[in-house]
Each structure stands twice: as C-alpha cells, then as structure tokens.
A and B are shown apart, each in its own frame.
Chain A
Amino acid sequence: MIGPPIRRGRLAGIRRVFAPIGEARGLPRWVLWAGIAITVLFVLLAFLAPLVSPYDFDQYRLADGSRFTKQAPPSSDHLFGTNVMSTDVLSRVIYGSRTALSVVVIAVVFSMSIGVPLGLVSGYFGGKLDRILLLFMDALFAFPYLLLAIVIAFLLSETIGRGVMTAAIAISVVYVPQYFRVVRNHVISVREEPFVEAARAMGARPRTIIGRYVFFNVVQNVPVIATLNAADAILTLAALGFLGYGIQPTEAAEWGYDIQRAIADAGAGIWWTGLWPGVAIVLLVTGLTLVGEGLNDVLNPVLRRRRTEPVVFPEGPETPQESGLPEEPLNR
C-alpha cells in the first residue's frame, strides 16, 4: 500500500487496517462522517432513553392519574402526538431505538460469530467441508430472507416465546451466509500468498496461521459487512414487527409494530402515528448504510480516489482520430 509508513508498535495490524480512512479525500470521507453522526445520535438515544424521553414507552397517563388524549396531534405536551393507545409517539420512537439497536447488535454478533469462523475454516482447509458449506450457504443466501425470518420467528415464538432473543435469532440466521462468503473468498486468495506459504513451511500450526496471519488480512472486510448487515437487520426487525412476528408490544416499543397500527390511522387522516417511527427507521438505516458505504469507498482499493496532482501536457498539435476501438473490453 502506498502511503505514509505505519509505525511499529502495539495494534500495528489494526492500525494498518484502518489507515486508509485517514488518507481518503473528498466525498467518501464526508459521507462517512455524516453516517457516523446519525448512528451515534441513535446510539445515544438508545442508551439515554430513560433520561431523554419525556415519558415511558407504554405510559398513558400522568402520575396524578390524568390520561393522555387518544390520537392527539402534535402539541407542546406531546411533540410527536399520541397514538391510539394514548401513548406518546416521541417516547416510543426514542425507546424504539433502544429496542432496534439491542436486537440488531445481538443479531450481528451472532451472525458474525458463526459466519466468520466458518468462512475462515472453510476457506483455509478447502476440500469436502468447503464444498458442502458453500452449497449450504449459497442455498441459504438465495432464499428470500424475509420468508425465512418469518417462519423461524414464528416457530421460535411457539417454543421459546416472543421476545428480543427470538427476533435476534431469526434475523441472525439470515445473514450468516454473507459473512461466510466474503471471509471465505478472501481467505482463499490470501492463503496462496508467499508469507502464508512461508509460515506453513516453518511448521506453524493451522491455528497460528489463521489466527496471526490470515485473520488480520481478512478482517478488513468485516466492518463494512457488519455495518450494512446492521442496517438490513433493522429493516428486517421492523418488517417482523409490522407483520406481527416481532417483539410483544408490551415488552418494548418497536417501530415496525407502531407503523402497522398507524396504517389504520392513515384512513382517518392521522399522520403522526406512522410518520415519526418511519422517519426514524429511514434515518437510522441511512446512517448505518452511509457508514458502511463510506467505509467501503475508503477501504476498497478499486474505487478509492486519492489526492492526485493534475497532469498538464505541453502545448502541441491536436490530432483527434476516430479510430475503431474493440467493442469488447479487454480487461474483464
């Protein structure tokens, strides 16, 4: 890699991995920061929910017993209005971010901890294990993810009941193939590298090779996948909530479920019960995607653009020629 030399020292590997971020210029960097800002906002909302939110997510009256008005439009008391259950929409949006992020973090961690090791092992050892796993993951990947998530969520809800865990498991199963494929492909290309050959020749055990050499080379891809994965997972969670297979509404506030109740309101011209949860979803998913895309732009060598000096040719005769170029590209 071209660039300023990385100092030796602790975490040199990790720092080498993230070095390109500091070097990138132009749009990608801007995009990345915008995404980070949005994501951090929601993370803060999730953590500080009890402090930031005006009311509890299922609170329908004040301490003195007076009930909130049902389906009240936005006002100073209820900035985003109230919904059909007399609960405050703003509070539900804030607590909804807590639900979304907790489920999604669990789901991403699950997916990663299954997909990455499987990809490493499968890619490094190859052979029959690799072929079987690849077939299995391809099949899983090709299948419409939502149908799979619905059926799994439904079956799980029959056995372990509906809750954060059920939703998280249903979502995580769907994303395992992505990690697997990306890691596996990268491992396959890396394992032929000379330094890996050398390590093998020195007699290092596969565990060392994978752990010390291959892993850090491969892990560069994972954050991008993880962020885009998280963005998708939020959509999947909302979809499950909308269809009624997600979290129990009494357990936590969930954006998708709120929108499902809001569709009935749309017919009566009540727009605030559905608009705000929807906007929240769009914002958070956009934020996460921007982070992912930004990371990708920055880390992906094919598309990376660096600051370059413009080349200036000396003045000279211009001879435009209409020459026949091959219709087929040469380097595909």
Chain B
Amino acid sequence: MEASRWLRVVALASVLVLGMAACGEGEPAQPEAEQGATIIHGTTDPWQSFDPAGSYDLPSWNIIQNVMETLVTIEPGGDTPVPQLAESCDYDDPQTYTCTLRQGVTFHDGSAFGADDVKFSFDRNIGIEDPEGASSLLASLEEVEVVDDSTVTFHLGAADSTWPFILTTAAAAIVPSDTYSETEVQSDQNVIGTGRYSVAEFRPGEQLVLEAYEDYWGDPPANSRVIVQLFDQSSALKLAVEQGEVDIAYRNLTATEIEDLRGQEGLEVIEGNGTEIRYLVFNVEEEPFDELAVRKAIAMTIDRQAIAENVYNGTVEPLYSMNPVGLAGHIDAFADEYGETPDVEGATQVLEDAGLDVPLDLEIWWTPSHYGDLSADEYTEIQRSLEESGLFNVTLESTEWDAYTEAAFTGQYPAYQLGWFPDYPDADNYLASFYSSDTFLANGYSNREVDDLIATEKASTDQAERVAAFEEIQRIAAEDVPIVPIWQGAQVAAVREGITGVEETFDPSFVFRYWLVGKAA
C-alpha cells in the first residue's frame, strides 16, 4: 500500500532525474563561429577591486587592463611603451612629460574621453591613497596639468626615466570623471573604462563576465565574450578544465596538478616567460627581526632548493636577488653574500657573535589562497629548514588576503610572505618598490645610500649607469637583509585544444590580454 506506492514514485522520480542528467551530459553550450566566441577562464585567484585606485594585485589589474586603458602600453612581447590612449608622448625636460591624446574615444557609458578624465584619474588615485591601492607607484608625480582638451602634461617631482613605464601600469588607467567618485573607491558593480571589454555582469566571489565593447576605437578582440569563473579549490579547477567546463585554467594550479595535466588528450600546458617572485619580508622594527644577525642567519638557513623541489616539483627556480633573472642588472647578490645552499654553521656563528641565545622564537605570517594552495606547504618547508638548524622556533600564522594586506602594510606583522608581479619590465619596479624609504611594505627599512642610488637610476637614461646603480642596490640589500628572496617562476596555464593566443600574452608584462585569445571553431 503506502510503502509500495512510495517505492513506485521514487523509482519514477529517479528515472526522470537521471534522464534529465543524461540529456545534459557532454560539453556545455557550444559557442558559435570563431569571431563570436565565448572564452571561459577558470581561476582560483579572487579579485580585490576593479578600481585603479583600490587595488594592487594581479587578478584585479588583469581585469583593469582589459576593461580600461592607459595612455601608453606595452605590446605583447615588447619592452618599450607605445601609444594607446595617447597619440604621442614625450619628455619636454627630465621632469616634464607631455602627451597628446587620441580623439574620438568613448567610455562604455558613451561619454567622451578627454584631458580632464586623465587629470581626474591621477588626482583621485593619489588623493584616495588606499593602502591596498598603488598610489605609491605614482610617487614621482607632482601635478597633472590640463593644457587643453587633448593635451596633458605631467610635472614630476624629480627626474624619473621610468615614468613612461609607470604610465603603462593599471595604476595609471583612465576612469571617467563624470561618474567616478573623487574620494571613494568605485563599486565593482559599476565599472566604466575605454577598453575593449565592458563588464556585463559581476557576481562577487563567483563570476565575472566581460563583453566586447562595440564602440571601441581600435581593433576588435578575437572573441566576443569572456567569462571568468572563480573556483574555490585548484582541484575543482583542474577537473573543470579536464571536463571542458572551462577553456583556460590559469592561476593557481598546483605543481602536482600541472604534472597530471601535461600530456592529457585535448589539453595543452603552456608556460610563459614572466617573472613572478616570492619573498619573505621582515619588519626591521620588531623583535627579533630588528637584529641584523637574526636576519642574516635566516637568509643563511632558508633552503630554497628544498622548496623548489618538494613544494613546486621543480617548476620554480631559487632566487638570490629581489631583481629577478631576466631583467637588466640582475646579480645573484644573496648567493654571492651567503652561498647558494644553506649554511647552518655560518648562521650559528653569526648569532653567536651577536650574543643571541638560540633557539630564537620567530612569528611568520602567510596567506592561504592568494598565492595558491601551495603557500601552506611552502611555509611549512621554511619552518622545517629553520627549525632543523636548531637555531629557531617558528610559529606560523595565516590570514586571508583582504585582512592580510591591511595588517601587513600597516606594519602589524613581524615577518610575512609576499609575492610580486612586474608592473613594468624594469628593475626599478622591483628594487625601488621594495627598498626605498617609503616602500609600501611598511617594514621600517630605510637606507640613505639606497635612496640616493634609486634617485640616480630613476633620473638617468644611461643604461650602463642604471645597471651599476641596480647592482649596488642589490649588494647593499643583501647585506642589510630587510627582505629574503625565495623563488622566481613563470606563468603556467592549462588550455583546451583549439585555444590560441595564450602563448602570445604570456610575456614578461604578466598582463593577461583576453583580446588575443581565440577559439578555433
């Protein structure tokens, strides 16, 4: 009676459900011909803000570079700025840089682009001065002058030969003066730029959809829509790209997962030649990192090889300077100073000479998702090598990115993990950002000599002079050890067969140019 009738209902229902499921089996909705293709990019890296004044992280900046534009930009594979929103730019003198703006450019909301938008964008970025923003990049800027509707002059506080490069970064992206606020970071639901894509939909924590902007002033992109899907775990992302739910899996698959994907049918693993670096920052005003001996000892004990092999399966290289391999002026400063492999005896000696008791208690902070799931393992390795030496007792603490950056960049952490992607392909972007007295790291490091060297290289256009300055900075930095460089790596993505353009955009700039990505029909 009751039970058997129920059984029948259940059976019928299950058949229906399974039937439905079987109907949907197979690939997701098919895109149309190549020109109107939809590209699906899966990632585990969440976005901070799509406002140039409110973010300084790679995923956010990637979106900004696709949705907004800068006056000058770096072409894929290039290394010098070429005009984008500007028609031409030049130095009047070492402290004055003038740009003539392109005509007929419109924002996504239809308003016209003009000089006042340029001035507005820079003024507000500096004015808002969001600690999670990149106003520090604009430190050289003293004033933006609107000469006329299509001419803008940048007055720099000191000679800065890197200014054109800075103008290519997302911090210099142009926003509309009519709609954006002068004092507050713009909501992510209302993003307006002049770029090839406009934001069609944004579901925080889930999905971002970009659609090709019809009235874009330049060439149309190779696809008409990009869906960026956020995944919580890299294992889910891996499965998604295996099953064809996403076309591109970029940031952050683990080394194990990449290994497994390599050689799989229908998939391709693409590696770039970018320079992402990871390092450990010391707050030199907090115990025990205020002791130079402690910092030196740690630099001598960290086992970079172990991390590169055990955690990253050899897909990254040990790094011996905060100016990575591949950029002009690189020297293996830390290797020169301390050797390539850990030197526990030397470290013990250093601590003894300084009269410090071992083992020392260290508190090191790291962040779980922003740099990929392997951060946990990386810092466990660091803890292991430090404790194995018998010199240190390490306590690891972690916080999620949002709260992490707010605490780290206000000097609340004694030692913390950080990574870096180039804003532009020049050593200045690395060395000046980390070692100047007003570094965004807020770690209390200040060295007059270094500041002078930075000023010299910024002002100079002589490559040899700049390289000499870079090398000297790296030497001093290896002696002072406010930061310990750990490893450097390149971009790596897994894409489905038929996806083109990814190799092209995997250049040192680290900008993921969606407009280059096409899908073979």
Contacts and interface: CB of A to CB of B under 8 A. Distances in A.
Interface in A53-84: 60, 67, 70-71, 84
Interface stretch (A222-230, A260-268, A306-314): A260-268
B329 to A, nearest CB: 36
Interface stretch (B51-59, B154-162, B233-241, B430-438): B233-241
Given A71-B256, A250-B396, A267-B239, A85 B377 contact: yes
Contacts of B181: none
A220 interface: no
A156 B234 CA distance: 29
A185 interface: no
With most chain B CB atoms within 10 A of its CB, the pick from A71, A84, A266 is A84
A286 interface: no
Contacts of A84: 256, 377
B412 interface: no
A88 to B, nearest CB: 15
A249 B366 CA distance: 14
Interface in A254-276: 263-270
Nearest to B381: A85
Contacts of B384: 60
Interface string B259-277: 1100000000000000000
Interface string B376-410: 11001001100000000000100000000000000
Contact of B233 (A67, A70, A71, A263): A263
A85 B257 contact: no
Contacts of B260: 267-269
A248 to B, nearest CB: 8
Interface in B317-339: none
A318 to B, nearest CB: 25
Interface in B1-48: none
Contacts of A217: none
Contact of A85 (B239, B368, B380): B380
A267 B264 CA distance: 14
B373 interface: yes
Contacts of B234: 264, 267
Contacts of B383: 250
Interface residues of A, number: 19
Contacts of A266: 235
A263 B235 contact: yes
Nearest to A60: B384
Contact of B254 (A86, A248, A249, A264): A264
With most chain B CB atoms within 10 A of its CB, the pick from A60, A267, A269, A270 is A267
A71 B396 CA distance: 23
Contacts of B377: 84-85
A265 B257 CA distance: 8
B189 interface: no
B310 interface: yes
Contacts of A85: 377, 380
A277 B462 CA distance: 62
Nearest to A69: B310
A270 B256 CA distance: 10
A264 B373 contact: yes
A117 to B, nearest CB: 38
B94 to A, nearest CB: 51
A269 B235 CA distance: 11
A264 B233 contact: yes
B90 to A, nearest CB: 51
A210 B463 CA distance: 90
Interface of B: 233-236, 238-239, 254, 256-257, 259-260, 310, 368, 373, 376-377, 380, 383-384, 396
Given A70-B310, A264-B256, A268-B257, 4 more contacts: A249-B380, A268-B235, A268-B259, A270-B256
